[in-house]
Amino acid sequence: MLVHIKKIIRKAQQFGYAVPAFNVNNLETIIAVLRAAEKMKSPVILQATESAIAYAGLEELSALMRAAAGEVNVPVAIHLDHGHDLKIIKQAIAQDFFSVMIDGSACPYKKNVLLTKKVVRFAHEKKVWVQGEIGRLEGAEDWVKTGKLEAFFTEPEDAVRFVQDTGVDALAVAIGNYHGVEKIIEKKELKLDLKRLAEIATVVRAPLVLHGASGFPAGQIKKAIKSGIRIINIDSELRISFAKAQMEFWRKNNKIFDPRKILKPSILKMQKTAEEKIKIFGCKGKA
């Protein structure tokens, strides 16, 4: 069932677990995630980025998400991930996204605040939740190579000031997390700054969001949840599951032309990945 994200997150805050926000681009990923959520009796967030929208179409993708969410017996929220373009944010809100992210994290503090406030003003009038970000993640792969990732981590005092200055409902933080499949494929050593997270969580009341969480060891993720992470974004691990199932399929088959048969192994593998995440995040049985 389609619900407002605040219903899902308030409960996660009350009982101390995190809810997965899975990135979706197509019907197959939506099916896989929702089957996992139903099997695990877990709440779940389906999210689309601007590039997912460019790929699939906003109306098409939101209609798919809404229709699929309406068919399952667990709470499902729909979220716009990494919004940058005010026009797309407004269009997404018009398409029943009751949660949007404005990602001004690449901007200097003041500009990030101005941009985020603008979205908060518009969204709150429509009872839509806004996620903001302070600290930087994207392109972090380069910073890892140069050893300067820490320079972009979220400062606790900036985090508390940013929430006050903007009125965001949820806050994404940079504590060693970063986007992309490379960190998994290249078997990078992944380390969250849990001490910094604990400091942020003691001063920020808004639910904290961990982006770029694919590939991080379960132990670290569980500790991050104990410290106050309430939403965890997963895209890369679903992509890898989708692609690996395809590679395996094509190694074994060259005479199958029915897309349903071709895509089925990818759906099953993504579902398994989503189930594993739900178990680690502590939201199994919390629907």
Catalytic residue flag (residue 81): yes
Q: Considering the rule CB under 6 A, would residue 235 count as an interface residue with ligand G3H?
A: yes
User: Which lies closer to ligand 13P via its Cβ, residue 185 or residue 203?
Assistant: 185
Which residues bind to Zn ion, rule: CB under 5 A? 211, 233
Q: Considering the rule CB under 6 A, would residue 49 count as an interface residue with ligand G3H?
A: yes
Q: Considering the rule CB under 6 A, would residue 238 count as an interface residue with ligand G3H?
A: no
Name the phi and psi angles at 230, rounded to 5.
Answer: -120, -15
Residue of this chain nearest to Zn ion (CB atom): 211
Residue where the block lists tokens 């991930």: 81
Cβ contact 181:234 at 8 Å = no
Cβ contact 98:127 at 8 Å = yes
Q: What 3-state DSSP class applies to 183?
A: helix
Contacting residues for 189 by C-beta, under 8 A, at least 6 apart: none
Q: Considering the rule CB under 6 A, would residue 82 count as an interface residue with ligand G3H?
A: yes
The DSSP symbol for 78 reads E
Q: How far is the CB of 255 from ligand 13P (least distance, A)?
A: 34
Among 214, 227, 241, 266, interactor with ligand 13P by CB under 6 A: 214
Among 212, 228, 265, 282, interactor with ligand 13P by CB under 6 A: 212
Q: Considering the rule CB under 6 A, would residue 52 count as an interface residue with ligand G3H?
A: yes
Cβ contact 112:162 at 8 Å = yes
Report the DSSP beta bridge partners of residue 172.
133, 209
Angle between helix 86-94 and 58-71 (nearest 10): 40
Among 2, 9, 170, 213, interactor with ligand 13P by CB under 6 A: 213
Sign of the dihedral through C-alpha 212, 218, 223, 226? positive
Contacting residues for 180 by C-beta, under 8 A, at least 6 apart: 141, 212, 236
Q: Considering the rule CB under 6 A, would residue 237 count as an interface residue with ligand G3H?
A: no
Residue 28's nearest CA partner among 232, 274, 277 is 274
Q: How far is the CB of 73 from ligand G3H (least distance, A)?
A: 28
User: Which lies closer to ligand 13P via its Cβ, residue 180 or residue 265?
Assistant: 180
User: For the purposes of burial, counting CB atoms within 10 Å of the CB of 81, is it exposed (0-12), middle (13-18) or buried (19 or more)?
Assistant: buried
Q: Which stretch binds ligand 13P (CB under 6 A): 145-153, 192-200, 212-220, 261-269?
A: 212-220
User: Which lies closer to Zn ion via its Cβ, residue 79 or residue 196?
Assistant: 79
User: Which lies closer to ligand G3H via its Cβ, residue 81 or residue 199?
Assistant: 81
Question: Which partner in ligand G3H, Zn ion, ligand 13P, none is near 52 (CB below 5 to 8 A by kind)?
Answer: ligand G3H
Q: How far is the CB of 81 from ligand 13P (least distance, A)?
A: 5
Catalytic one of 81, 165, 169, 193: 81
Residues 228-247 that bind ligand 13P (CB under 6 A): 233-237
Which two three-digit tokens encode residue 136?
A: 């930087």
Which two three-digit tokens encode residue 123?
A: 């969204």
User: Which lies closer to ligand 13P via its Cβ, residue 189 or residue 258?
Assistant: 189
Catalytic residues: 81
Residues near ligand G3H (CB under 6 A): 23, 49, 51-52, 81-82, 179, 235
Residues near ligand 13P (CB under 6 A): 23, 81-82, 179-180, 211-214, 233-237
